Structure 1
Amino acid sequence: MSMASTTTNPTSPLFAAEQYMQQRYGVKSDGLVLPQDAFIPGSKAVTLSGIDHLDSTGTTLNPFKPYQPEDLTLSLVAMALNMPKGS
């Protein structure tokens, strides 16, 4: 299971990097990694919108964020475990 994220949130600390990647490569990103580079070849892939790289990996005291990075990790593991074999 692979996960990528994208954001266009101007309040993200990675907004300038995300905008550069959008203009340079024409692809939305999380500000650090292009989605095609986040995917493991042959794996099932999930792309989440509205999340920058820091939101999916770091813990912050952001009261407006409705999840923690461990929530994303547990969800991805649960999805991987519930996939039929050979999918």
Structure 2
Amino acid sequence: MSEQRLILLLKTSITIGICLILLGIYLHSFSDYMESLGVTGIIISAMCIAFGLIFSLPTKMYLTFLLVKRESESQDNKVDSEG
């Protein structure tokens, strides 16, 4: 898998995670149906938030690592060509 494809996959995963977090917040705070479900509604909204965090946080760290690594390599190449 190429680096560009991996970055696209990670960005998609972050987007899905953020959408799940926002859905969980909406369900918990503004949905009357979830309120009528009681504890089950709380569990459903909490699961949306939990899966959103699972999708977004680790991928953010990995994506940041990849981008820092790429920046470091480009600066090393720039220094080599100047020297």
Q: TM-score, normalised by structure 1?
A: 0.28
Larger Rg: 2
Larger relative strand fraction = 1
Q: TM-score, normalised by structure 2?
A: 0.29
Larger relative helix fraction = 2
